[in-house]
Amino acid sequence: MRKTLIIMLSLAFAVTACEKVPLTGRKQLILVPPSEMLAMSFTQYKQFLDTSQVVPTSNNDAEMVSRVGSRIRQAVESYMNSNGFSKRLEGFQWEYHLVQSNQVNAWCMPGGKIVVYSGILPYTQNEAGLATVLGHEVSHAIAEHGNERMSEGLVANGLLQAGQVATGIGTSGKSAQTQAIFQQAFGVVGPLAYQFGRGLPHSRKQESEADHLGLIFMAMAGYDPNQAIAFWQRMAKASGGKAPAEFFSDHPSDERRISDLQKLLPDAMKYYKR
């Protein structure tokens, strides 16, 4: 009886909380209230900045991050407001910061909280390369990929718990269940069937989707989409073929990413305004 109830509740959530990603139209499950995601994001972002070496805004590279980020933001807001997705931007408080670090990375938390590590600038090389990175990271936030992963993890955990109850397995207590929800939501650990069968492939799907949206947004912001190909070619060359096998990675292989972007170029060029 309990198993049936949990499954019915999970399915009910799946039906009532289904939304569509802008531009791609892919259906996704969103269960966590955006207000909660924003609150967590703003808190974590401030804590990160307080404990990191933030480059002063007077620095040329930091100013470039702010300038490119602002152009991407304007393109995103223009598209979202003109196509019925303005609700996804409610509560956004955009910020752009360059952090001194050797990490070759950048990210955007929910609410438009952006960080670029200085270690990626030798690979971006120019504003268009940086726009490729920022367009991709902002797209994760716009598409609510973090919320989607958390939501699917919660549903997956509920179904797993239902099966465990039915077989008399896994009744170690609430704290263990809570820990499992957190771990599965963020892909920390989990059953191999979930990790490789669902978790990682879905992350790769989200990465490819962010590439797609990011390519469009950088074009809307006035950056040549062809430069996205050039950026990922530089990244592929730098990796020297040492990237993990795609099956075991939460990102597409460099070769697939470049191939997919090349196929998307004709569509992106329609949005490109020099």
pTM: 0.78
Asked whether residue 124 is assigned to any structural domain, the reply reads no
Select from 150, 142, 120 the least CA-distant residue to 132: 120
Instruction: With beta carbons less than 8 A apart as the criterion, state whether 151 and 31 touch.
Output: yes
Our count of domains for the chain comes to: 1
In a domain, 274, yes or no: no
Q: What is the DSSP string of 133-150?
A: HHHHHHHHHHTTHHHHHH
Is residue 190 one of the residues assigned to a domain? Answer: yes
Query: What residues does 62 pair with on adjacent strands?
Result: none
CB of 101 within 8 A of CB of 53?
yes
Q: What angle do CA 241, 214, 30 make, to 5 degrees?
A: 105
Asked whether residue 167 is assigned to any structural domain, the reply reads yes
Name the percent of the chain lying above pLDDT 70.
71
pLDDT in tens, 101-159: 999 999 988 899 999 999 999 999 999 999 999 999 999 999 888 888 877 766 766 64
**Mean pLDDT computed over every residue of the chain:** 78
Band (261; pLDDT cuts 50, 70, 90): very high
**pLDDT > 90 fraction of the chain, expressed in percent and rounded:** 46
List the domain range (segments joined by +) for residue 155: 2-27+147-200
pLDDT band at 39 (very low <50, low <70, confident <90, very high): confident
Residue 6, domain member (yes or no): yes
Question: Is the separation of the CB atoms in 204 and 251 below 8 Å?
Answer: yes
Helix (H) or strand (E) holding 87: none
pLDDT tens column, 200-223: 555 778 888 999 999 999 999 999
